[in-house]
């Protein structure tokens, strides 16, 4: 029997493209113009030295500027301009990425207001708030207690220690629906800058001055607190080493050129080669074209854009390392309730007892649930309507009905109307009720109950007593006597409904080499049934916080990176231990402090997309690094023949692009080297297309696309540029 899957209410799916790409926001051309002033400011050597590759380019640009002033020519000044543009375009890539974050920070600043707080003096739990002093929110310290009433702004991050209130958090989450915050439990955390809509709460401030949640969000999305990740640092070291290698290789060109010129005295001088060797401008142009300027220019923008893609989905990453770790995750721990299932049990099937029709059972189940406002009760009414076409009735339509509410003692609920009593509830309770009224439940009903329990569902038995004379029923739950006929009508199958598309998402995870583990407090039998239906790889049943922590440590000891979600104080140790710990914004302050990401939408399912964004970040960085190194090959074929073909005519065979002249060949390579940075900014910000697949297939695809593309594209680009600039003065 197939089980229905429903979309989680209140959680719109995160944006995903039809082609499987994790969407990342488009580049507004206006951002290039708006980011230009920041790019110019980044030309300051005190700022640029942090990027070794581009710092070398800037030094080269400054050196060639001096040479161009000393020996001016169109070729020299054109080369100088494009070398400076190379540095500027690299700064522009980073400035555009940071500019997107600054736009989001401006929105956050709008939520951060100069709020006046009422600081309570001498507050004690349970004691009435008798006095307070008025202070600015910035003067509040950790541990201060404030009182906030309806219509007021919460002055700082903290935990509700008294009261319950409806809070508008739209300034932080963008969600207009208010949320309930109350003392105790996992819904006690409040965020500064949000507004209390009703009632009154007492809040204990947990933040230090200037370190509120909004302050940290602003700093992170602006990039002010962005620290380079270990992988980014390692790649920077590699790029710096390659730069040194190419610097030494370029320097050795000069003695070779002087010697070659001396043994060929009849060769005329050119702008590229004279008796004194290769000109300084050409040497710098060669160095800039050979070092990995493309990835050096885009590396920082790729990291910032990765965090930006999370912010677009209302996820705040506390560090770039967390985003990177998400891309390397190999084990996902997912809570069953709210993540894999809808969180509320839903009516899936009506199983009638022998001699009872399904329609009769459905009508009785609906009737007994009309006054049941629980999610389970509402789902019974809806299922009867959808599956059997029964009109949904309101309790008010049954004017003479006597409703029997659910209690912990009776463990059942129902209605008495027109001489008929109907009850639904726990199997043992309803069957005892039927026996007490003279009925005899059949063994088949017990078998149905056992089968539903064995499949991981929850059975609710429906029973009735009919033919009761008025006044003889003794009330909704009183004795009926012998006038009635009691019987069991059948069983309602309640089950945790797996969210729509979860099985497919877990299949994607499996193709990516990620193991999924469902965490639940259910018994092993129920847990296995839900795990099989959802398609997870493993499950942990009857899980305690200690069990979660032990499982994470066990996975990490095997060399795997672990991601998990949590919202309660009891989840804090596991969130802190996990490599990627995503805390829900509705959770406690302890959980948010322990995790390295916070989901402002409090949607646990988003963990899967966070992993995909992390993988996209790593793939983008690897693909553009491959492209950057591969496109050096075409520059060899452009510049080396241009420098030495006059003294070694055989090198002209390397001029496969048939470039017009040595000057146009060198300038074309420099121009392409600068333009390709601007051309790749949208890809760096949006991210390389990512489809769930295993690592070897992704590597093969990216090597073919970006490795081979990095070889072919420069040949085409340099040749097209040469066809244009060969007509400029001094190019032939």
Q: What are phi and psi of 345, to 5 degrees?
A: -65, 140
Distance in angstroms (rounded) separating the CA atoms of residues 156 and 43:
38
3-state secondary structure 19-54: CCCECCCCCCHHHHHHHHHHHHHCCCHHHHCCCHHH
Q: What are phi and psi of 351, to 5 degrees?
A: -105, 105
Annotated binding site: 372, 376, 406-413, 424, 567, 571
Q: What is the mean pLDDT of residues 425-435?
A: 88
H or E stretch covering 577: helix 572-577
Winning range, highest mean pLDDT, from 113-117, 251-255, 693-697: 251-255
The answer on pLDDT for 349 being more than 70 is yes
Query: Which residues on adjacent β-strands are paired with residue 522?
Result: none
Tokens for 168, please give them. Answer: 């508008």
What's the pLDDT at 369? Answer: 85
Query: Between these two residues, 397 and 404, which has the higher pLDDT value?
Result: 404
Burial 360-399 (b: 16+ CB within 10 A, else e): bbbbbbbbbbbbbeeebbbbbbebbeeebebeeeeeeebe
Distance in angstroms (rounded) separating the CA atoms of residues 195 and 151:
6
Q: What is the mean pLDDT of residues 618-632?
A: 88
What's the pLDDT at 75? Answer: 87
What's the pLDDT at 20? Answer: 44
Tokens for 390, please give them. Answer: 């029964």
Helix axes 320-328 and 606-630, enclosed angle (nearest 10): 90
Q: Are 319 and 596 in contact (CB under 8 A)?
A: yes
The answer on pLDDT for 414 being more than 70 is yes
Q: What are phi and psi of 689, to 5 degrees?
A: -55, 135
Q: Is 268 exposed, middle or buried (0-12, 13-18, 19+ CB in 10 A)?
A: exposed
Name residue, tokens 């300038």. 667
Q: What is the mean pLDDT of residues 414-438?
A: 88
Distance in angstroms (rounded) separating the CA atoms of residues 572 and 23:
31
What's the pLDDT at 641? Answer: 78
Distance in angstroms (rounded) separating the CA atoms of residues 646 and 108:
62
Q: Are 25 and 685 in contact (CB under 8 A)?
A: yes
What's the pLDDT at 87? Answer: 93
Q: Is 516 exposed, middle or buried (0-12, 13-18, 19+ CB in 10 A)?
A: buried
- Lowest-confidence segment of 39-43, 84-88, 239-243, 692-696 by average pLDDT: 692-696
Q: Are 161 and 190 in contact (CB under 8 A)?
A: no
Q: What are phi and psi of 448, to 5 degrees?
A: -65, -45
Distance in angstroms (rounded) separating the CA atoms of residues 288 and 407:
79
Annotated binding site for ATP: 372, 376, 406-413, 424
Q: What is the mean pLDDT of residues 287-304?
A: 87
Decide: helix, strand or coil at residue 500: coil
Q: How confident is the model at residue 17 (pLDDT cuts 50, 70, 90)?
A: very low
- Of 686, 623, 633, 711, the residue nearest 295 (C-alpha): 623
Decide: helix, strand or coil at residue 91: helix
Q: What residues have CB less than 8 Å from 334, skipping those under 6 apart?
A: 340, 516, 517, 518, 519, 536, 564, 565, 604, 607
Mean pLDDT taken over the chain: 80
pLDDT per residue over 676-719, tens digit each? 998 898 888 888 877 777 667 777 888 888 888 888 898 899 88
What's the pLDDT at 11? Answer: 34
Decide: helix, strand or coil at residue 240: helix
Q: How confident is the model at residue 80 (pLDDT cuts 50, 70, 90)?
A: very high
Decide: helix, strand or coil at residue 133: strand
Tokens for 680, please give them. Answer: 């790749």
Q: Is 583 left (phi over 0), alpha (psi -120 to 50) or beta?
A: beta
Q: Dihedral angle at the C-alpha atoms of 674, 676, 678, 679, nearest 10 degrees?
A: 160
Tell me the percentage of the chain whose pLDDT exceeds 90: 10
Query: Between these two residues, 618 and 172, which has the higher pLDDT value?
Result: 618
Q: Is 14 exposed, middle or buried (0-12, 13-18, 19+ CB in 10 A)?
A: buried
Q: How confident is the model at residue 640 (pLDDT cuts 50, 70, 90)?
A: confident
What's the pLDDT at 78? Answer: 92
Q: Are 187 and 164 in contact (CB under 8 A)?
A: no
Quote the distance between the C-alpha of residue 208 and its chain's center.
27
Distance in angstroms (rounded) separating the CA atoms of residues 482 and 464:
14
Quote the distance between the C-alpha of residue 344 and its chain's center.
25
What is the DSSP-derived secondary structure letter of residue 584?
Answer: E
Q: Which residues are catalytic?
A: 335
Neighbours of 28 (CB within 10 A): 13
What's the pLDDT at 483? Answer: 45
0.75 exceeded by pTM: no
Distance in angstroms (rounded) separating the CA atoms of residues 108 and 294:
33
Distance in angstroms (rounded) separating the CA atoms of residues 358 and 379:
17
Q: What are phi and psi of 596, to 5 degrees?
A: -105, 5
Distance in angstroms (rounded) separating the CA atoms of residues 722 and 658:
9
- Mode of pairing for the β-strands spanning 485-498 and 341-352: antiparallel
Q: How confident is the model at residue 473 (pLDDT cuts 50, 70, 90)?
A: very low
What's the pLDDT at 671? Answer: 93
């Amino acid at each position: 029997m197939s089980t229905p899957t429903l979309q989680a209410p209140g959680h719109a799916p995160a944006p995903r493209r039809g082609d499987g790409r994790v969407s990342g926001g488009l580049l507004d051309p206006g951002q290039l113009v708006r980011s230009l002033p920041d790019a110019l400011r980044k030309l300051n050597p005190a700022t640029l030295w942090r990027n070794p590759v581009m710092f070398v380019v800037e030094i080269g640009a400054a050196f060639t500027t001096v040479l161009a002033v000393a020996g001016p020519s169109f070729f020299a000044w054109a080369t100088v301009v494009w070398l400076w543009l190379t540095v500027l375009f690299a700064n522009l890539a980073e400035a555009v990425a940071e500019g997107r974050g600054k736009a989001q920070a401006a929105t956050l600043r709008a939520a951060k207001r100069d709020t006046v707080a009422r600081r309570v003096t001498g507050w004690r739990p349970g004691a009435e708030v008798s006095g307070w002093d008025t202070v600015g929110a910035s003067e509040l310290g950790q541990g201060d207690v404030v009182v906030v009433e309806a219509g007021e702004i919460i002055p700082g991050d903290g935990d509700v220690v008294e009261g319950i209130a409806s809070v508008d958090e739209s300034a932080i989450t963008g969600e207009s629906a208010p949320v309930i915050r109350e003392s105790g439990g996992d819904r006690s955390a409040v965020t500064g800058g949000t507004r209390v809509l009703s009632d009154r709460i007492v809040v204990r401030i947990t933040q230090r001055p200037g370190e509120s949640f909004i302050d940290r969000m602003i700093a992170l999305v602006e990039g002010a607190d962005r620290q380079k990740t270990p992988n980014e640092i390692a790649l920077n070291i590699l790029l710096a080493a390659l730069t040194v290698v190419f610097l030494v290789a370029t320097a050795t060109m000069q003695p070779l050129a002087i010697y070659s010129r001396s043994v060929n005295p009849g060769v005329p001088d050119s702008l590229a080669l004279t008796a004194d060797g290769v000109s300084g401008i050409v040497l710098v142009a060669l160095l800039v074209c050979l070092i990995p300027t493309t990835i050096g220019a885009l590396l920082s923008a790729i990291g910032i854009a990765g965090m930006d893609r999370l912010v677009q989905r209302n996820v705040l990453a506390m560090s770039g390392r967390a985003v990177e770790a998400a891309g390397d995750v190999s084990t996902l721990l997912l809570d069953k309730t709210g993540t894999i299932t809808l969180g509320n049990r839903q009516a899936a099937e009506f199983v009638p007892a022998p001699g009872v029709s399904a329609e009769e059972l459905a009508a009785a189940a609906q009737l007994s649930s009309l006054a049941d406002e629980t999610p389970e009760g509402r789902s019974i009414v809806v299922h009867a309507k959808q599956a059997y076409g029964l009109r949904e009735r309101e309790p008010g339509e049954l004017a003479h009905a006597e409703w029997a509410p659910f209690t912990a003692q009776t463990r059942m609920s129902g209605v008495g109307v027109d001489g008929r009593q109907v009850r639904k509830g726990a199997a043992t309770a309803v069957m005892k009720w039927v026996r007490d009224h003279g009925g005899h439940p059949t063994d088949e009903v017990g078998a149905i109950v056992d089968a539903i329990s064995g499949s991981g569902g929850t059975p609710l038995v429906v029973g009735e007593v009919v033919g009761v004379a008025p006044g003889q029923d003794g009330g909704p739950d009183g004795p009926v006597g012998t006038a009635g006929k009691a019987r069991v009508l059948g069983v309602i199958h309640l089950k945790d409904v797996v969210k729509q598309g979860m099985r497919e998402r877990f299949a994607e995870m499996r193709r990516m080499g990620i193991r999924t583990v469902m965490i639940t407090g259910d018994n092993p039998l129920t847990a296995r049934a839900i795990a099989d239906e959802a398609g997870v790889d493993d499950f942990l049943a009857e899980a305690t916080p200690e069990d979660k922590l032990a499982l994470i440590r066990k996975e990490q000891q095997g060399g795997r990176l672990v991601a998990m979600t949590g919202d309660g104080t009891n989840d804090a140790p596991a969130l802190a231990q996990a490599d990627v710990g995503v805390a829900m914004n509705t959770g406690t302050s302890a959980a948010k402090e322990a995790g390295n990401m916070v989901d402002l939408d409090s949607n646990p399912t988003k963990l899967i997309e966070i992993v995909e964004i992390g993988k996209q970040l790593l793939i983008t960085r690897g693909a553009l690094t491959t492209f950057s190194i591969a496109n050096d090959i075409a520059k060899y074929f452009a510049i080396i023949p241009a420098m030495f073909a006059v003294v070694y005519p055989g090198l002209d065979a390397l001029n496969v692009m048939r470039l017009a002249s040595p000057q146009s060949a060198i300038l074309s390579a420099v121009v392409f080297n600068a333009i390709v940075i601007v051309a790749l900014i949208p890809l760096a910000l949006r991210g390389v297309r990512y489809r769930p697949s295993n690592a070897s297939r992704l590597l093969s695809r990216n090597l073919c696309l970006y490795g081979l593309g990095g070889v072919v594209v420069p040949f085409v680009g340099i040749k097209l540029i040469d066809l244009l600039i060969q007509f400029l003065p001094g190019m032939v």
